[in-house]
Amino acid sequence: MAEINENYLKLKAGYLFPEISKRVKLFTESNPGKKVIRLGIGDVTLPLPPSIVNAMKLASEEMGTSSGFKGYGPEQGYSFLIEEIIKNDYKPLGITLSQDEIFVSDGSKCDTGNIQEIFAVDSKIAVTDPVYPVYVDTNVMAGRTGESGVDGRYSGLVYLSCTKENGFQPDFPKEKVDLIYLCYPNNPTGTTITKSRLKEWVDYAKKNNSIILYDAAYEAFISEPNVPRSIFEIDGAKEVAMEFRSFSKTAGFTGTRCAFIVIPKELNGISSNGEKVSINQLWNRRHTTKFNGVSYPIQKAAAACYSDSGKKEVRDNILYYMENAKIIREGISKNGYEVYGGVNAPYIWLKTPKSMTSWDFFDALLNKVQVVGTPGSGFGPSGEGYFRLSAFGKREDVIEAVSKIGTLSF
């Protein structure tokens, strides 16, 4: 028999979201007819905006003509989309990028999961805790960790705790690390970072020859001024960071799939013989070998997010979700919960009442009022005692969930 990659056996149970779905499925099977409100996984619920649908339709029709048909496209993405990304997402921030510094892909989950492949197996990795589980699990799969301990942490990984005690701001690693995953606005805590703190991270990375893997998938939800939208707003960041962006939450592409990574040419790694190696070129090699590009209609749809009508429609959807976030934040805190996030991010992070464990609170909410959220401990040990509610639900469901949670006493 073929021997398996034993690193997979180190993984804890199932991936967080399928695990939640499994529990919800069990509940619905034994309680048929009971309406369950899902504010767990951050999956959008509004339909795709009309400008995007229209662009997708036109592009599909074009593909059905002999003059408009396209086979394989450029693996890195069509220039019509990359141009729009640079012009709309980066130029207004004073950031100059060239087309070959952007790699269009089918999602930030894949990108943040795959990126570790181009780094050494013995790279030291730092993650915030709680954290988007993909960063951890993919490094476990690659063999960069030992087993997980009783504290729920994998040996070999450096965890940077983010709790209310430190304002959800991680301290710098106490030991030298090679790669640091940062996500702002943060999933799951919904909190943000200041420009001055981000500058300190860039300086830290420079001093320690580390690379920051900056996940900015929720950038479009920033509502306050002076919150950095891109790590490249910080001087010197191009030498130490790459950035992940996605159309998933921004424009409702969770089922449509389109994202991109920005890898500046200034960013280098080092080979074992001490030579500098361009991370951009390394990723280009990986991307063109393992990926054949996002389909033409989907890239046309993504480009339509930057048209005048597309921009407005996308913004309207974001405002809708952020109004949901406000309803959850205010409604839940009126009921005495300690609440964080939800101002510059579509996630509300709350402290469980009476020090309940995150999964106990999950079960209580599911069984008593049929509201599904995400247990904080599923994002890492420092998430224990916290719970995440997503603002991506339908308005009426969000209002109902808040009012039902308000009926509970613990």
E strand or H helix that includes residue 161: strand 157-161
Backbone angles phi, psi at 96, to 5 degrees: -100, 130
With tokens 């009926």, the residue in question is: 407
Residue among 114, 146, 187, 113 at smallest CA distance from 11: 146
Minimum Å gap between C-beta 160 and ligand MLT is 18
Minimum Å gap between C-beta 38 and ligand MLT is 11
Indicate the pairing of strand 157-161 with strand 179-183.
Answer: unpaired
The whole-angstrom separation of Cα 302 and Cα 299 is 5
Interacting residues of 296 by C-beta distance below 8 A, sequence separation 6+: 59, 62, 63, 70, 73, 78
Q: Nearer to ligand MLT by C-beta: 51 or 191?
A: 191
Q: Nearer to ligand MLT by C-beta: 109 or 229?
A: 109
Minimum Å gap between C-beta 264 and ligand MLT is 24
The whole-angstrom separation of Cα 389 and Cα 41 is 9
Minimum Å gap between C-beta 230 and ligand MLT is 19
In order, the DSSP letters of 216-257 are: -TTGGG--STT--S-GGGSTTGGGTEEEEEESHHHHT-TTT-
Minimum Å gap between C-beta 223 and ligand MLT is 20
Among all residues, whose Cβ is closest to ligand MLT?
A: 42
Binding site for ligand MLT (CB under 6 A): 41-43, 109, 132, 187
Q: Nearer to ligand MLT by C-beta: 8 or 15?
A: 15
Q: Nearer to ligand MLT by C-beta: 280 or 374?
A: 374
**DSSP strands (E only) in 258-383:** 259-262, 268-270, 276-278, 339-341, 347-351, 371-372, 374-375
Question: Under the phi-then-psi rule, with left for phi > 0, alpha for psi from -120 to 50, and beta for the rest, what region is 190?
Answer: left
Q: Nearer to ligand MLT by C-beta: 41 or 63?
A: 41
Minimum Å gap between C-beta 209 and ligand MLT is 30
CB 279 within 8 A of CB 118: yes
Q: Nearer to ligand MLT by C-beta: 296 or 349?
A: 349
Minimum Å gap between C-beta 182 and ligand MLT is 16
Q: Nearer to ligand MLT by C-beta: 84 or 137?
A: 137
For residue 273, list its beta bridge partners.
none
